[in-house]
Amino acid sequence: MNTAANHAEDAIGNGVKNEKQAAAATDEPMSLAQVRQKLKGVEGKRLSTPQTKTNLRGPRLSTPQTKTNLRGPRLWRSLDELADTPEFRAAVEKEFPTAAQEWIDPVSRRGFLKLMGASMALAGLAGCTKQPEEPIYPYVKAPEDLVLGEPMYFATAHPFPTGAVPLLVKSSEFRPIKVDGNPEHAYNRGGSDPLSQGTLLGMYDPDRSQHVLYRGENRQWEEFVEAFTGKVASTKDGTGIYFLSATITSPTLARQWKAVQTAYPKARLVQYDPAIAGTWAEQGIGFQADLSSADVIVSLDADFISGPAYPGFHKLVRDYATRRKQPEKGMNRLYAIESATTTTGMKAEHRLLLRASEVPAFTAELAKAVGVGGVNPPAWDWTAEQKAYLAALVKDLKANSGKSAVLPGLYQDRSVYELALAINGALGNIGKTVFVSEDTVNPLPSDQLADLKALVADLNAGKVDWLVMLDSNPIYDAPADLDFNSAFNRANIAVHLGSHLDETGQISHWHVNSAHYLESWSDCRAYDGTVSIVQPMIAPLYNGHTAHEVLQSLLNQPMLSPYAAVRETWMPVIQKNEKVPGDQELAWRKVLHDGWIEGTAFDKTAKANVQAAYHGAVPTPTAKDSLEIIFRPDPSVYDGRFSNVGWLQELPKPVISLSWDNGALMAGALITKLGVAEEDVVELSVGNGKAQAPVVAMPGHPQNSVTAYLGYGRAFAGRVGSGQGFNAYQIRYTWAPFYAAGSIRHVPGKWGVAITKSHYQDHRSTALLGQGSGDNSLEGDEALGPRGIVRYATLDEFKANPNFAHEGERYDTPSLDTSLFPNWDYSKASTENAWGMSIDMNSCVGCNACIVSCYAENNIAVVGKQQARIGRTMQWIRIDTYFEGDLAAPRAHLQPMLCQQCENAPCEQVCPVGATVHSPEGLNMMVYNRCVGTRYCSNNCPYKVRRFNFLLYSDYETESLKLMRNPDVTVRSRGVMEKCSYCVQRIQEAKITADKENRPIRDGEVITACQQACPAQAITFGNLNDQTSRVTKLRAMQRSYQVIADINTRPRTTYVAEVSNPNPELEETPVEHDPAKG
């Protein structure tokens, strides 16, 4: 894979030169000779030349130095940009960088002219296509409730090891086509996350395994059951029968297991989830926080903002964001102590960078300072800044007793969790902002790593007869020190129940294809404990089976369906809920309809078992100059279970905007120290394990540590996931599952990675400001300067000057008569609806849920790594990350960027065929069928939000994907431009419904896909002609501003400027991590 990428890169490199010459020749008044001179030796976006290496990081600056340097480059969007290498400048001068006009097959100029001649001649005929005859397949017996063409919605839930996500699934003709949060559920109230959104494609994944296999040959499920039950029965007591399961989240499955245990007392169950094992979540999550009343939030390496990997993500983010929407009414303050750069740290007012092993010690210091008894923090040489941070934090926490929340990191030492509880207890937060319950979302808590070790010991001792693996993939993800692979061969028979014929399935004797959660009955509990019934949306596509059926086959009623089993579990509870004991069936149906069972939330009033004093040991940090390797589940593919979901693979990871790969994520300082550049290959070693990974710079990462995301390097994930990235499980051990001391060295080779961030640039910045002297950020000059792309203030500044977002040179929109073109009439008399969107920069947490939601809603194609590398991703919405300040400790501003639906749109004026035109309601419509692919519109778009189908990206062949598509949106073919449409299909649907009912469209009736998915409610959409709509009110806020409106585009999308709430005792700029001291 590595070499393939390099070859491709070389090939592209040649294309670049031509492209650059062309671009430079047209864009700038430069002679061709000058251009050639300038471009000498430039090869694409590589940072391999020595001068680049030194430039990449630039001289290290202390905070005051940084501040003085902030005249211009206060914001930058990528390391390249800050370094402002010549290559970078060449790249920004183009609309789509790198080989934007590459031919897949080399075509000579003569051949090209011939082809063009022929196509010109045929162009007129192209319109005369005769449609093929199409068949109609009507139902034989139509389902009673079906109105063909009208979608239906069903409640279900996505079982996830950190707590279920309640869902409402849109179903078109009984095919699930869109997964969204359940808007009526108290836990997530409609919000979702990228992973839950991605499960839809996971279900329709064409690479799912479709058969029961025995030694590679097709078998029937019944044959498996016969062999399995026969074997288990012959053991009498279950001796030698071992189950290895992913974390069990289903109470019914737990009940079934307990029944199996009773019948076969010697059968063993081991649960193992690589991203759960070794965390406090494996013991079940009894920890709940309610941030709606927390004024001070402290994250102890708790990345609760990035995604559902942290328990309670949806609720925590929503409450966090709600408290930031109206700064005038007070807002919360977030302190993030973190060991790898995450959006939690980027959103925090005060971020303290610590190496992972320093966090427990720091937590102990914090605990001691707030008055937790019995803590003995290990002696450690804290820097002055760290001490100042701690002092300010303690003071702030004490001042906000009962109104603060301290969140423990999931991937930290156990002592952090215990101490965080004790801190919350000492501050009087328990029962107010923090709750501890006895019950947990994981009904069978266990010590997963110890159990797994015991299993391996039993395997090696030959005690394991049948090893039944339920939705788990230990061959891929077991810790390296267990040598699971060789132990595995000691089992007599290995059974693998899984959705894919993955690494484990390949070598198991039996492989049983499993049913997806959208295809089967089950149950699970959300963060707050509320039980959701998982109901199927579609019959299993490939006759898959579930763990419920495997366990049930050993019990008295072996044929009892999962449906019956789930009903059996919950009917007593449901009946008890019924005030008037009556129709059981009706009560059950209500539960299915609502999506949850009333009264099943955990008891939060129970006296929490919080120790006043802590007696456990707190580990001493590793030496400051030693290298630490941090393991985290990937924000996009988690522990590898979503590897084959193209939407998630192509998703730029938060902060680093890396797609299709993981990498050795490290600070610029470490890159400089190692003498490497991005895309160089390094070898990470922990113990005896070694893994090679590409270098990817992560701004704000602690020096002397490297972050490796889990979930990559899959060998048998499927057509999408196989071979992407490197396998970090190779260097992960049971004794150090989330951070370990290790070493790193540079090895020869190049590893092309697809970083999507610098691909969309506005080249006018150079001309505008004429800067660019090496340590300058062109975009930074613009973003914070005249362009005002990002505008923010502190709470005090905002109170002193509520109009800060409009006070800057060229910050404001030109008056309506500055256009050559006649103005559109959007008055209420002319059009009932004028659509607009408002995005709250204060709320956006950069979790990417909107992007995946948009993929599903708008049938967006996945382009693959090579195309992503050259900037051709098709995502209609992207999250721009503008970094501010010193590289070593930056601050980031997250800005969702999508088509702004300009009222005076530059794209419309240049389309030669009228393919992009203006609607009376203010949308920029894209008429795919008229588009001839000149790409003038994209060239002229100042926001760079148009996407072009350079190749045939949409999959017209794969049958299973056809079922998934939204029938209301055209699937775009090659050569067509596309962009965000404000979900025009939803607007039209609402208009027709409202028109039939003879009423105006209600506020909130049209919800765009991105808005619907957002767990933080950062996006609001509505009618600007309705003076009472939420979007109108948001736009009327003084903080609302338009991006690049000074060029008279009059965007319909507005942004609400950020306000932060820093602690006056700490410096406004984030505390700097001083690498000289560690």
Binding site for other proteins (CB under 8 A): 124-125, 127-128, 130-131, 133-142, 147-150, 830-831, 917, 919-921, 923, 925, 927-929, 968-970, 981, 984-985, 987-988, 992, 995-1000
Q: Which is nearer to other proteins, 349 or 921 (CB)?
A: 921
Minimum Å distance from CB 130 to other proteins? 5
Q: For other proteins, which is the closer residue by CB, 100 or 983?
A: 983
Q: Which is nearer to other proteins, 723 or 933 (CB)?
A: 933
Q: How far is the CB of 1033 from other proteins (least distance, A)?
A: 23
In the complex, least distance from residue 146 CB atom to other proteins, rounded to whole angstroms: 9
Identity of the residue, 745 or 930, whose beta carbon is nearer to other proteins in the bound complex: 930
DSSP state of 573: H
Compare residues 139 and 217 and give the one whose CB is closer to other proteins. 139
User: At 405, is the secondary structure helix, strand, or coil?
Assistant: strand
d(CA 994, CA 1007): 15
DSSP strands (E only) in 538-649: 627-633
Measured from the CB atom, is 450 or 971 closer to other proteins? 971
Q: Are 734 and 482 in contact (CB under 8 A)?
A: yes
Inter-residue contact 415 to 619 (CB < 8 Å): yes
The Cα–Cα gap between 397 and 429 comes to 10
Nearer to other proteins, 122 or 186 (CB): 122
The closest alpha carbon to 98, from 165, 168, 18, 201, belongs to 18
State the Cα–Cα distance between residues 456 and 462, nearest whole angstrom: 10
How far apart CA 519 and CA 500 sit, in angstroms, is 15
Three-class SS of 62-100: CHHHHHHHCCCCCEECCHHHHHCCHHHHHHHCCCCCCCC
The identity of residue 25, as a single letter, is: A
Query: Which residues are paired to 1054 by β-bridges?
Result: 838
Strand partners, 407: 299
Min dist CB 352 to other proteins, Å, is: 48
Task: Name the residue nearer to other proteins (CB basis): 755 or 987.
Answer: 987
Q: Which of 3, 993 has the CB closer to other proteins?
A: 993
In the complex, minimum distance from the CB of residue 1007 to other proteins, in angstroms, rounded to a whole number: 16
Taking the least distance from each CB to other proteins, the nearer of 581 and 967 is: 967
Query: What end-to-end distance do the CA atoms of the chain give, in Å?
Result: 36
Which of 497, 540, 532, 489 has its CA nearest to residue 516? 540
Q: How far is the CB of 824 from other proteins (least distance, A)?
A: 11
With H, G, I as helix, E, B as strand and everything else as coil, classify residue 119: helix
Our CB check for other proteins shows the closer of 815 and 929 to be 929
Cβ 1013 to other proteins, closest distance in Å? 19
**CB-based contact 696:79 (threshold 8 Å):** no
Cβ nearer to other proteins, comparing 625 with 825: 825
Residue of 1015, 1061, 850, 1060 whose CA lies nearest to 310: 1015
Of 319 and 921, nearer to other proteins (C-beta) is 921
Largest interatomic CA distance in the chain? 89
Q: Which is nearer to other proteins, 130 or 329 (CB)?
A: 130
In whole angstroms, how close is the CB of 816 to other proteins at the nearest point? 20
* Closest by CA position to 1060, among listed 332, 305, 296: 332
| Shortest distance in whole angstroms from residue 132 CB to other proteins | 9
Handedness of CA 117, 118, 121, 125 (dihedral sign): negative
* CA–CA gap between residue 76 and residue 80 (Å, rounded): 9
Q: What is the CA radius of gyration of the chain?
A: 29
- CB count, 10 Å around CB of 28? 14
Say how far apart CA 204 and CA 177 lie, in whole Å: 10
CB of 593 to other proteins, least distance (A): 21
Q: How far is the CB of 952 from other proteins (least distance, A)?
A: 16
- Nearest residue to 311 (alpha-carbon basis) of 165, 447, 425, 173: 165
List all residues 6 or more positions away from 197 whose beta carbon is below 8 Å from its beta carbon: 179, 180, 647, 849, 852, 853, 855, 856, 1013
In the complex, least distance from residue 833 CB atom to other proteins, rounded to whole angstroms = 9
CA pair distance 950, 864, nearest whole angstrom: 13
- CB-nearer residue toward other proteins: 607 or 996: 996
DSSP string across 348-402:
-SEEEE--TTHHHHHHHHHHHHHT-BT--PPP----HHHHHHHHHHHHHHHHTTT
CB 831 → other proteins: shortest distance, Å?
7
Minimal distance, residue 976 CB to other proteins, in Å: 10
Q: Which is nearer to other proteins, 29 or 137 (CB)?
A: 137
Burial bucket for residue 116 (CB in 10 Å: 0-12, 13-18, 19+): exposed
Report CA 580 to chain centroid distance, whole Å: 45
Nearest-approach distance from CB 927 to other proteins, in angstroms: 5
Please state the closest distance from residue 997 (CB atom) to other proteins, in A.
6
